[in-house]
Amino acid sequence: MNAGSSFVRSSIGKKVVMALSGVVLFGFVIGHMLGNLQVYAGPTALNAYAESLRKVPALLWAARTTLLVAVGLHIWAAVSLTALNRRARPVGYREKGHRESTYASRTMRWTGVFLLAFVVYHLLHFTWGTVHPSFVHGDVYHNFVAGFRVSAVSAFYIAAMLALGLHLYHGVWSMMHTLGFSHPRYDPLRYRVAAAVTAVVVIANISFPVAVMAGWLRERPPSAATHASR
């Protein structure tokens, strides 16, 4: 117990905690994206997918609990590492050259805070319907299209996905490095993997509000929508 506690309190231990919790969050991002892509198959497919998740409440709540723990550990590790870095150098550099760092790595704290705020809004918007203008319980397709028809909401989602792209790019690269997938010969591949994964996630997620705003995804006829919500 003492050895494990000492390891977690060390900077390396905190980085491992951040990397492992990042793996869980990364898996959620991919799964969430794949689930949402079913909107292009039509309202029946998307609503059936959402209903299938609710049919096994034990599994759903286990996933939610795991995700919540991962978010908590990720935030704790990030705050702890920031505090360690500040204690290690209480006086800042006179000049910063940024020779090795990237814009994505330098903005990790800010994109992280922005994404946390976005997640809270996303839950209020699409999960609980608290801030949704016309939320219909169980009709995910309607909520999806009606929600993204609001220009300000779509703009906010697109901005959040761009922030996710920056966070994900450096996060995937750093995660692989911390977990041992790092070697001078393969580092260029690590950069390409991080860039490819980020591009797929960002493009797919941005396509949702764009498709609604462009009219490619539309509401169903009132009779069909009313029947689905019964």
Q: Where are the alpha helices (DSSP H) in the chain?
A: 2-9, 11-36, 43-54, 57-88, 103-106, 108-122, 140-148, 151-178, 187-213, 222-229
- Token duo for residue 11: 């900077």
Dist CA 156 CA 160 (whole Å)? 6
Q: Domain 7-90+100-229's class?
A: mainly alpha
Domain range summary for the chain, segments of one domain joined by +: 7-90+100-229
Tokens of 67: 């995700």
According to the 3-state scheme, what is the secondary structure of 106-163?
Answer: HCHHHHHHHHHHHHHHHHHHHHCCCCCCCCCCCCHHHHHHHHHCCHHHHHHHHHHHHH
Distance CA 182, CA 187 (A): 6
Dist. CA 51–CA 220, nearest whole Å: 18
- pLDDT tens, residue order, the chain (230 aa): 566 677 787 888 899 999 999 999 999 999 999 999 999 999 999 999 999 998 988 988 999 999 999 999 999 999 999 888 877 665 554 555 455 578 888 889 899 999 999 999 999 999 999 999 899 999 999 999 999 999 999 999 999 999 999 999 999 988 888 888 777 777 788 889 899 999 999 999 999 999 999 999 998 765 444 444 44
